[in-house]
Amino acid sequence: MSRIDPLTLAVIQASLAQVCNEMDIAFSRSAFSPVIAEADDRSSGIYDKETGALISQGEFGLPVFVGTMQYSTAEILRLIREGKAGAPRPGDIYIVNDPYLGGTHLMDVRFALPFYYQGELFCWLQNTGHWPDVGGMVPGGFSAKATEVEQEGLRLPPVKLFKQGVMDPEIYAIICSNIRVADQRIGDIKAQAAALKVGEKRLTELLDRYGRDTVTAAIAEIRQRAAKLMRAHIATIPDGVYRSEAFVDSDGVVNEPLKIALAVTKQGDTLTFDFAGSSPPCRGPMNSVVATTYSSVYLAMRHIFPDTPLNSGVFEPLVIKRPEGTFLDARYPRPVSGCAAEVSQRIAEAVFLALVQAIPDKVTAAPAGSSGNFALGGTDPAKGTSYVMYQISGGGYGGNADHDGLTNGCSTIGISKTAPVEVMEQYYPVLFRRFGMHEGSAGAGLHRGGFGVHYEVELLRGEARASFVMDHGRFGPPGAQGGREGGRNVVRIHRDGAVLTPEHLSKDQDIPLKRGDRVEVLTPGGGGYGDPLQRDPAIVARDVGRGYYTPEAAATLFGVALDGHGAVDAARTAALRAGRA
Amino acid sequence: MRRVVGIDVGGTFTDLLLYETEADTGRVALAKIPTTIANQAKGVLAAIDATGTSASAIDLIIHGTTATTNAVLERKLAKVGLITTRGFRDTLEVGRRTRPKPYGMTGTFEPLVPRDLRLEVAERMNAQGEVVIPLDETELRAAIERLKGLGCEALVIHFLHSYANPAHEQAAGRIALQMWPNAYVTMGHALLSEFREYERGTTASVNAAVQPVLDRYVRLLQTELEKKSFGRDLLVMNGNGGTVSARLVAREAAKTIMSGPASGVMAAAETLRQSGVANAITYDMGGTSTDVALIHGGVPEVSSELTIDYGLPIHVPMVDVRTVGAGGGSIASINAAGMLQVGPQSAGSEPGPICYARGGEAPTITDANLVLGRLDPKRLHAVKNPVSVEHVRAIFEAKLAKPLGLSVEAAAAAVIRLANAHMSGAIRMVSLSRGYDPRDFSLFAFGGAGPLHAVALARELGIPEVLVPARPGLTNALGCLVADLRQDFVNTLNVPLDQADISEVQRILNDQRARGMAVNAAEQNEIVETIVLHGADMQFRGQTHLIRVNLPSADVSREEIQKIFETAYFNRFQVHLPEIRAVLVNLVTSVVGKRRTFPISALLDASDRASALDSAIIGERKLYAGGAWHTATIFDRAKLPLEARFAGPAVIQQIDATTVVEPGASVLVDKVGNLRITVGSASE
């Protein structure tokens, strides 16, 4: 029994989360960039002053940042101890985006503030925001062809951008000289710093109210309780070793699949994740840094057990063996721009595919698991200005024990919505010829997956270059419990009556386009769950009536025969299914 | 003699307020009867009967209905067909790449119009409103025939970029109206002329799906009222907090969604105005949910971006009411880590809290109030086969107190305190997201449970004052009584301000005004004054979030708009961005026909009031607060004299609510009869 009463404990836990939520909202509300302001590609948290361990993180932060910032805090603390970063003083804010120092990709820029209470360091506050550009060989940073991190943009070690409350104009000038559309970044920098200040103020109020000793003791207790809750969840999983594999199409440079091999061992109340057997580091930008690899496991577990609080206690029973020598633990100077958006989702997929075998009622078949990044850059002759258009896409979710998967669900690691066609056409010289469902893409199953999207966009004026960082072009998202894989990602370029497909299927860079050329994209559907032959024939008939599947697919995938009116032909269906069983 | 009736049909009760005036005297009559779910009109008539007044003697009825909200939430909707631009059949189904919750890969979504009832025709506008592909009328006719053949009752025509140029939708609408067997044809641009195809299309589909439902209900109600010789005007509440004539309401049926919560906020705004309070957070806590809204400068905040259910945005201007948590039925439990939790599970109204004696066995917030003496234990006897306080205490002991190592009282107090902590967090997020600090507001508490928690919640939020209205449980009906006739319009321009055609801007604003005046003209005898409010939604180029600014008139100049926007942006974000261009996204106009005011003080019958405060005391009981039992004075709300002052601990009882005045708080009954509670601080 702790010496803190249970009410105070519960209230302090809620209050710490509230501090983080208020930092998140302050950041989004005042950020200039749409990627932060509307897409919420940011996160805020509170970290231990000795270890950097996560004390609390906002519920509305981007999922891929679950856990990453505790590693970057730990790295900052290490560099300070080693004299490689300046010692903290009140009012300082460090900036860092080095992926190898507890990060993701270069575009995710972290601000860290040492928090002092009554003159003494109490903890660290940190936030991450995805900047629209950090320099590098392509606008936006998602190069599919980079072979070293220097090509991906400006890399900052932890340096004090704010010194005792005042922004350092020299560091600011260095940053601005190395990134595109630098004039708008001041709006984001101010917002990112101001959000930490909001956290500072609210946390001070919390400490004033409950006292330093009580809050310190509560943080320790909350962490133990969180570990206990995760252990209780893990205890419901049968003991055993659960293996899975997931594949990244290619690294963008060498056209070979990258393998993630995962063995999850459940013993007692601990889960051990071992990635031994995964591919070695790759030439192209599909490497992951270790902080992102760990975070991807954590976010997958939180998708499975959403009621666990966000603090380092929940990570304790999750033992991840450091995947040294694989592309999941890339070191300098390996390029890493694909880690946050794509590799992270393959890691989460591997976790889902392993654990769906153990707890099939709590885990889904594989979701589409790609951010579907498509960038179109060019100059609009009508306006005389250059532009970069980003189109992200969702895909189908996996079927599960209760129901079919969601159509066009958000990426596993994200929470951002796509921009409406009507907005894209206002800003860019393009016309969408279609934007709808990727028919037939839902993996067949007792409960099928959800559908991906299918769009086709035409360049109306001038010339442009198209780049893609997507995935699941080579293999569809796998099904589970007898379900089939979801439809694959397809990219097609229509030019002068010919159709081109990128060599790497889902990844390419700088494909030249001219007026009238069209880009067609079909995103993956979710994997199916359970035996498709068990699916209610009436629902299969409904799906065919809606044009989700063709009548032929109903027969081959589900063993359902339809009559001339689209109704189930019971006798032929029984025969078809009997022949398959 | 003039008689006006406000009547609100809620999920559980149908509430009525009748206001009779003659010369300079007024009289209020109240009625509260169970809602007749199958046919709401029956309950409406029964409520009128309950006042002892005949329908034929009523001059005006203002009606709030949940018919459309419930129809959407329960998916009891008309069969709708949709005709759209080739290539965009799936807009309603693919949405914008979301999932129901940030964590968890499960959840489902069914669009309001299934895919087999969504047909495409050749036509296309571009973003500038220029025709790229002409409308193929032959194809259109075939599509209309097909949807008729498939048994659709209502039709949506939703074309891309119709906000920029509605010509194709209008042409298609004309053809459809000739061919469709009824008038249930909704054109996407007609309801809101705003960009974003998924949101506009969904809004149009919701409209089509509830139009027949509302139309049938309103016709039924009118017929029933006519049978009782009611021959005067019937107005219906909209979600924007205004009213519209029953004859016109079905055309834009989607606007009636969420009108119940909106009318509660309108009642709050008028009550606060008459008490001289400009800024308040409204806090409506019932059995199953808690709603909050912000009133700033006397005006309820409005949003055009509300979502009624996952994947169902309704982008018409509505009072911005947000559900921030569960109500009194929220269940307290201890999780696997031994942590106390309140919610998210709720006992709802069936089985409900333990003390409702309907078989509930899980401790709830309501039960905690009972254990602590905040609710009157004697009222348990109002239910059939009542449970005893001892029974409730025994469950608290076993399920909460013992595992936590607390006394039963401390465990119950912890449940309430933790619920308030969550609630205050959610309320802070709502106000911060709109750029306000809740500490600059009063807390206006209503609903059955709002006044029970308001003082403690206000302390949690750092809010200095709580205001409890005369009739906390009849607020929606009051909202009907005080609501104005209000028409809102939105048109999207989305052009940089320095490139905008200002004469076109002025033309649109003037046109919006004229359209509003035309709708309100039908009820001219109800309007004492018309107020026209113009505004714009703006942003800096490159941004996606919008700021709403007020414009002084329809004939505003470019320079004025620029200056107003820069000032508003600075006030909100403390940043000047002179180098970045401003974009004029939407033009908005509200035409408000003010109705005669209703004196809030009439809600409590002056003849019931005691001459001295002591005569309002009806007893005392034990109240647990701040870790100890106190003896609280019990007051009868109806008997409280105006201008009376007293201090907590006290409990104020009335039929529809219980107000708890914690130790350290003090009460003033103000000149219109509202309780003004200075929350002070807990004396521990």
Domain harbouring B569, CATH code: 3.30.1490
Provide the b/e sequence for A413-449 (b: ≥16 CB within 10 Å): bbbbbbbbbbbbbbebbbbbbbbbbbbbbbbbbbbbb
* Range in A280-284, A421-425, B171-175, B579-583 with the lowest mean pLDDT: B579-583
Whichever domain contains B446, its CATH number is: 3.30.420
Cα(A133)–Cα(A130) distance, integer angstroms = 9
Q: How many domains does chain B have?
A: 5
CB-based contact A30:A262 (threshold 8 Å): no
Instruction: Please check whether residues B247 and B179 belong to one and the same domain.
Output: no
Please determine, for residue A306, whether its predicted confidence score (pLDDT) is greater than 90.
yes
Cα(B247)–Cα(B219) distance, integer angstroms = 9
Q: Do A26 and B432 touch (CB under 8 A)?
A: yes
pLDDT band at B382 (very low <50, low <70, confident <90, very high): low
Is B640 contained in some domain? Answer: no
Q: pTM surpassing 0.80?
A: yes
Q: Quote ipTM for the complex.
A: 0.94
Instruction: Please check whether residues B100 and B207 belong to one and the same domain.
Output: yes
Q: Do A6 and B195 touch (CB under 8 A)?
A: no
Q: What is the mean pLDDT of chain B?
A: 92
Instruction: Please check whether residues B169 and B313 belong to one and the same domain.
Output: no
Instruction: Please check whether residues B440 and B319 belong to one and the same domain.
Output: yes
Task: State the residue range of the domain holding B541.
Answer: 484-595
Mutate to test the interface with B, among A13, A36, A422, A441 (most CBs of B within 10 A): A422
pLDDT of residue A41: 86
- pLDDT, tens digit (0-9, with 9 covering 90-100), for B553-572: 999 999 999 999 999 887 76
**In chain B, which among 479-538 make CB contacts under 8 A with chain A?**
494
Which residues in chain B touch residue A11, judged by CB atoms under 8 angstroms apart?
417-418, 421
- Which residues 6+ apart lie within 8 Å of A363 measured at CB? A304, A352, A355, A356, A400, A480
Q: Do A406 and B337 touch (CB under 8 A)?
A: no
Is B414 contained in some domain? Answer: yes
* B504 C-beta neighbours (distance < 10 Å), count: 12
Is B617 contained in some domain? Answer: no
Q: Rounded to a whole number, what is the distance in Å from the CA of B89 to chain A's nearest CA?
A: 7
Residue B667: φ, ψ to 5°: -115, 140
- pLDDT, tens digit (0-9, with 9 covering 90-100), for A37-86: 777 789 999 999 999 999 999 888 888 898 899 999 999 999 999 999 99
Torsion of CA A196, A201, A204, A208, to 10 degrees: -160
CB-based contact A544:A497 (threshold 8 Å): no
Q: Rounded to a whole number, what is the distance in Å from the CA of B325 to chain A's nearest CA?
A: 14
CB contacts < 8 A (A, B)? 201
Q: Do A367 and B105 touch (CB under 8 A)?
A: yes
Which residues in chain A touch residue B404, judged by CB atoms under 8 angstroms apart?
6
pLDDT of residue B684: 42
Q: Which residue in B93, B195, B543 is closest to A37 by CB distance?
A: B543
Give me the sheet containing A54-57, strands edge to edge.
A54-57, A42-48, A120-130, A108-117, A93-96, A159-163, A166-167
Strand B657-661 and strand B650-654: pairing? antiparallel
Interhelix angle A290-304/A344-358, nearest 10 degrees: 40
Cα(B269)–Cα(B282) distance, integer angstroms = 9
Cα(B223)–Cα(A488) distance, integer angstroms = 58
Which residues in chain A touch residue B337, judged by CB atoms under 8 angstroms apart?
225-226, 228-229, 232
CB-based contact B483:B595 (threshold 8 Å): yes
Instruction: Please check whether residues B306 and B452 belong to one and the same domain.
Output: yes
Please determine, for residue A35, whether its predicted confidence score (pLDDT) is greater than 80.
no
Q: Rounded to a whole number, what is the distance in Å from the CA of A231 to chain B's nearest CA?
A: 9
Q: Which two tokens stand for residue A155?
A: 């890399």
Cα(B603)–Cα(B274) distance, integer angstroms = 13
B547: nearest CA in chain A?
A29
Mutate to test the interface with B, among A7, A131, A303 (most CBs of B within 10 A): A7
Mutate to test the interface with A, among B85, B94, B169 (most CBs of A within 10 A): B94
Q: Rounded to a whole number, what is the distance in Å from the CA of A65 to chain B's nearest CA?
A: 13
Q: Do A7 and B414 touch (CB under 8 A)?
A: yes
Q: What is the mean pLDDT of chain A?
A: 94
Q: Do B88 and A421 touch (CB under 8 A)?
A: yes
Q: Do A417 and B421 touch (CB under 8 A)?
A: no
* A183 interfacial to chain B (CB closer than 8 Å): yes
* A279 interfacial to chain B (CB closer than 8 Å): no
Which residues in chain A touch residue B406, judged by CB atoms under 8 angstroms apart?
5-6
* B390 interfacial to chain A (CB closer than 8 Å): no
- pLDDT, tens digit (0-9, with 9 covering 90-100), for B189-201: 988 888 899 999 9
Instruction: Please check whether residues B450 and B313 belong to one and the same domain.
Output: yes
* Region of residue B143 (left: phi > 0; alpha: psi -120 to 50; beta: else): alpha
CB-based contact B79:B153 (threshold 8 Å): yes
Q: Which residue in A228, A364, A393 is closest to B106 by CB distance?
A: A364
**In chain B, which among 393-432 make CB contacts under 8 A with chain A?**
404-406, 410, 413-414, 417-418, 421-422, 425, 428-429, 432
Instruction: Please check whether residues B341 and B322 belong to one and the same domain.
Output: no
Please determine, for residue A294, whether its predicted confidence score (pLDDT) is greater than 90.
yes
- pLDDT, tens digit (0-9, with 9 covering 90-100), for A475-485: 999 999 999 99
Most confident of A27-31, B326-330, B513-517: B513-517
Please determine, for residue A2, whether its predicted confidence score (pLDDT) is greater than 70.
no
Instruction: Please check whether residues B366 and B265 belong to one and the same domain.
Output: no
Q: What is the mean pLDDT of residues A406-423?
A: 92
Q: Rounded to a whole number, what is the distance in Å from the CA of A238 to chain B's nearest CA?
A: 18
Instruction: Please check whether residues B80 and B210 belong to one and the same domain.
Output: yes
pLDDT band at A180 (very low <50, low <70, confident <90, very high): confident
**In sequence order, what E strands does A118-253 have?**
120-130, 159-163, 166-167, 240-248
Beta bridge mates, B155: B81, B185
* Region of residue A66 (left: phi > 0; alpha: psi -120 to 50; beta: else): beta
Q: Which long-range contacts (CB under 8 A, 24 or more apart) does B617-621 make?
A: B618/B653, B621/B373, B621/B376, B621/B651
Which residues in chain A touch residue B90, judged by CB atoms under 8 angstroms apart?
435-437
Percent of chain B residues past pLDDT 90, beyond the cut: 72
Strand A108-117 and strand A120-130: pairing? antiparallel
- Which residues 6+ apart lie within 8 Å of B102 measured at CB? A59, A60, A63, A415
pLDDT of residue A63: 87
3-class SS of residue B132: strand
pLDDT of residue A1: 40
* Region of residue B627 (left: phi > 0; alpha: psi -120 to 50; beta: else): left
Closest CA to A287 of A324, A330, A255: A330
A22: nearest CA in chain B?
B429
Is B661 contained in some domain? Answer: no
Please determine, for residue B683, whether its predicted confidence score (pLDDT) is greater than 60.
no
- Which residues 6+ apart lie within 8 Å of A287 measured at CB? A251, A281, A327, A328, A330, A334, A335, A336, A338, A339, A343
Is B443 contained in some domain? Answer: yes
Instruction: Please check whether residues B466 and B565 belong to one and the same domain.
Output: no
Q: Do A11 and B88 touch (CB under 8 A)?
A: no
Q: Rounded to a whole number, what is the distance in Å from the CA of A58 to chain B's nearest CA?
A: 11
* B573 interfacial to chain A (CB closer than 8 Å): yes
pLDDT of residue B385: 77
* A30 interfacial to chain B (CB closer than 8 Å): yes
- pLDDT, tens digit (0-9, with 9 covering 90-100), for B592-616: 999 888 999 999 989 999 999 999 9
Q: Do B98 and A409 touch (CB under 8 A)?
A: yes
Q: Which residue in B160, B337, B425 is closest to A421 by CB distance?
A: B160
**In chain A, which among 339-368 make CB contacts under 8 A with chain B?**
352, 364, 367
Instruction: Please check whether residues B96 and B169 belong to one and the same domain.
Output: yes
Q: Which two tokens stand for residue B304?
A: 């055009």
Instruction: Please check whether residues B372 and B277 belong to one and the same domain.
Output: no
pLDDT of residue B628: 94
Q: Do A303 and B103 touch (CB under 8 A)?
A: yes
Beta bridge mates, B332: B342
Please determine, for residue B428, whether its predicted confidence score (pLDDT) is greater than 60.
yes
**In chain B, which among 99-118 make CB contacts under 8 A with chain A?**
99, 101-109, 114-116
Please determine, for residue A418, whether its predicted confidence score (pLDDT) is greater than 50.
yes
Half-sphere exposure of A495 (CA within 13 A, CB side): 13
Whichever domain contains B48, its CATH number is: 3.30.420.40
pLDDT of residue B303: 87
- pLDDT, tens digit (0-9, with 9 covering 90-100), for B206-234: 999 999 999 999 999 999 999 999 988 79
- pLDDT, tens digit (0-9, with 9 covering 90-100), for A548-574: 999 999 999 999 999 999 999 999 999
CB-based contact A263:A242 (threshold 8 Å): yes
Please determine, for residue A210, whether its predicted confidence score (pLDDT) is greater than 90.
yes
